[in-house]
Amino acid sequence: MVETTHEQPVRASAPTLEQVAELAGVSRSTASRAINGGLRVSPEAQAAVDAAVADLGYTPNRAARSLVTRRTDSIALVIPEPDERVLSDPFFAGMLNGLSSSLADSDIQVVLVIARPGDSQRTVRYLRNGHVDGAIVVSHHRADDLDETLMTSRLPNVFVGRPYSRESSHVHYVDTDNFEGGRLATQHLVERGCRRVGTIAGPVDMSAGVDRLDGWRSALQAAGLPDDAVAHGDFSIESGARAARELLAAHPDLDGIFVASDLMATGALGVLAEHGRSVPDDVAVVGYDNIGVAATTTPPLTTVIQPVAAMARAAGSRLMALLQGERIPDEPLIFAPELVRRASA
């Protein structure tokens, strides 16, 4: 009897990182860095590793690498606002675009985390449980407590906008000088001859809302003008309209309004038109942000620039540095405000 055997075909073993490094003529660590984002790798070494990967058909084992390094190759963009605000406010779209551009040369993905009001603990659990490598927090409110919670965690994080309850220099953030922006906008109204200047301020539980209000008040006090015409909104168009009606009812003699966001200013312009107030002849209006809508309102809006994309890129760069184990300045990065003059004031 003749025995027959059925031999299994021999599978070629998958190429290894060591083989990639040997073929490229670089160290294993250089090959790893080149494959995982090109960080601190010369163009020549990157080209050699890319060629070796193509020649060998090497595929990085992301799952195995994650188990060893505990890295997810993702960061969270945390926005503590209601869903409809996040999806409709162009500020957040600009923030996401700017952040994405800062990560263009890496394999890092952005995960959008909408931290709904009153549900911050679920967000904190998500961030702490290893789902992301770091976080950028935008639109922080006092009650969120995200700054204090993240400060006690090991998760690298950067805030866009000064955290309201900032108690420690260990909180990293980028921002604009909101106080100076509010002062600059109000000073412009005073210089053009306005003598009864009101404001539609932002939320009192956000540093941007408080600082812009303080800047408005500082400019009026320096000019010896009253600073009692104040209404508040939440940076939305609807709240701007409500606040404008409140201001006009309480202070019908207003001849100037500083509005702490362009969206709120859009709502205010509509109310002024309803009341037959010509802008800027009867009431001059200055907004804040210089988002796209500012150039399309009737009339086009004089406003203070908030460089949203630049702030997002700066926050992304600082977070990437933290993820790479680098030290970053303890001091916040503050952008100087600038006034864009259009037809509303």
Instruction: Give residue 158's pLDDT.
Output: 94
CATH for the 178-307 domain, from 3.40.50.300, 3.40.50.2300, 3.40.50.1980, 3.30.413.10: 3.40.50.2300
Residue pair 304/148 in contact (Cβ under 8 Å)? The answer is no
- Domains of the chain, by residue range, sit at 17-69, 74-175+308-335, 178-307
**pLDDT, average across residues 120-144:** 85
End-to-end CA gap in the chain: 104
pLDDT of residue 10: 39
- Looking at residue 145, its pLDDT comes to 76
**What is the three-class DSSP state of 43?**
helix
- Say whether the peptide bond before residue 226 is cis (omega within 30 degrees of 0): no
Q: How far apart are CA 228 and CA 261, in angstroms?
A: 19
pLDDT band at 3 (very low <50, low <70, confident <90, very high): very low
Given the candidates 3.40.50.12780, 1.10.260.40, 3.50.50.60, 3.40.50.2300, the CATH classification of the domain at 17-69 is 1.10.260.40
Beta-carbon contacts of residue 191 (< 8 Å; ≥ 6 apart): none
- Per-residue pLDDT for 236 more than 90? yes
Pairs from 59-66 (Cβ < 8 Å, separation ≥ 24): 59/14, 60/17, 60/35, 60/36, 65/36
pLDDT tens, residue by residue, 200-216? 999 999 999 999 999 99
Residue 209 CB partners (closer than 8 Å, separation 6+) = 201, 202, 203, 232, 235, 260
pLDDT digits (tens, 9 = 90+) for 237-261: 999 999 999 999 999 999 999 999 9
Give the CATH number of domain 74-175+308-335; options: 3.50.50.60, 3.40.50.2300, 3.20.20.240, 2.130.10.10. Answer: 3.40.50.2300
User: Do 74-175+308-335 and 178-307 agree at the fold level?
Assistant: yes
In this structure, what token pair is assigned to residue 90?
């162009």
Q: What pLDDT, on the 0 to 100 scale, is given for residue 2?
A: 40
29: Cβ–Cβ under 8 A, 6 or more apart, which residues?
Answer: none
pLDDT at 217: 98
Q: Which two tokens stand for residue 208?
A: 């941007």
What lies within 8 Å, CB to CB, of 320 at 6+ separation is 102, 103, 106, 108
Q: How far apart are CA 179 and CA 211, in angstroms?
A: 5
Categorize the per-residue pLDDT at 275 as very low, low, confident or very high, splitting at 50, 70 and 90. Answer: very high
**What pLDDT was estimated at residue 73?**
85
Please compute Rg for the chain using Cα positions: 26
CB 271 within 8 A of CB 285: no
